[in-house]
Amino acid sequence: MIDDFAGKTAVLTGAGSGFGLECARIAARRGMRLVLVDVQQEALDRAVAELEALDVPLLARRVDVSSGTQMQALADAVQQRFGAPHLVFNNAGVGAAGLVWENSEADWQWVLGVNLWGVIHGVRLFTPLMLTAARADPLWRGHIVNTASMAGLVSMPNMGVYNTSKHAVVALTETLHQDLQLVTTQVGASVLCPYFVPTGIGRSERNRPAALQGAALTTSQRVGQAMLDKAVAHGKVSAAEVAAKVFDAVAQGHFYIYSHPQALSSVAERMQAIVQARNPPDPFASRPEVGAQLRSALRT
């Protein structure tokens, strides 16, 4: 929980667009020192140009969050420039679709590398710095926010790689919360579980490393990508609104952060099926036409 953000340091990955950029904008308006991290240099440069105009102390780094070496260098640079960060937003992420058995090893390595290992590195490298600062000052407060997804709470078909990465982030963050509770009351954690929000995640293939390029897209991958693009493009909740929810949660010490609370009915149905040892519920029960469309496309 952080009740006063002024003068504190925020580290934000995926800061060149989407939730990362919108959270950076809020952080700047609240007088925070910024560490902007992104793998796309052009997007990072645009964010730096915009936020430097607000006259806030700023450090920018182009980092592949899946690399432990690059993340270690980032943590060292943050510690040297600003000391322990007060807010860490492990937010960088990429999207993927397709039948789970059709995803290549390169697909798995790329998606898990960014979505899961990026969060793992952020947690393992910054949490010790924050705990050291907390032990030195009883008034010091810090918070870690990890971006998962509603796909981390339900398991929609044709999205297996993405689902797996986001379920892991939810489990990691819940455990982080419990572990922190064992040792301190000065550092907290939250998990962000957005639904369909217009961000740049649908175009994440542009940042895929050459060494992890997959084979030609299968039918299921093309269909899944098209459906994801349509759903994201028609999202009614903006990235800026989600960013505001992130800061509200950090200020109030709330763990779960949702962009679309109405989508939790699907989570409740899944939990009931687990408790009652029933088969997973039909994910298209409320929109059968979508399920029919997907089945038709994949069976043709």
Q: Would you state the pLDDT for residue 185?
A: 97
Asked if 85 contacts 11 with a C-beta cutoff of 8 angstroms, the reply is: yes
Q: Among the options 162, 195, 256, 258, which is catalytic?
A: 162
Q: Would you state the pLDDT for residue 270?
A: 96
Q: Would you state the pLDDT for residue 267?
A: 95
Q: Would you state the pLDDT for residue 147?
A: 98
Tally of residues, the chain: 300
List the chain domain ranges: 9-299
What is the second-level CATH architecture of the domain 9-299? 3-Layer(aba) Sandwich (3.40)
Q: Would you state the pLDDT for residue 224?
A: 87
Q: Would you state the pLDDT for residue 284?
A: 86
Per 3-state DSSP, the chain is made up of helix, strand and coil in percentages (nearest 5) of 55, 15, 30
Low-confidence residues in the chain, pLDDT < 70: 200-206, 208, 210, 212, 214
Alpha-carbon distance of 299 to 182, in angstroms, equals: 51
Is pTM, for the whole model, over 0.85? yes
Phi, psi of 238 (to 5 degrees): -85, 160
Closest CA to 225 of 291, 152, 158, 163: 158
- The amino acid occupying position 275 is V
| φ/ψ bin of 83: left (φ > 0), alpha (ψ from -120 to 50), beta (otherwise) | left
Asked if 72 contacts 48 with a C-beta cutoff of 8 angstroms, the reply is: no
Phi, psi of 145 (to 5 degrees): -120, 125
Q: Which residues contact 198 (CB under 8 A, 6 or more apart)?
A: 232, 233, 235, 238, 239
Residue 195 bears catalytic tag? no
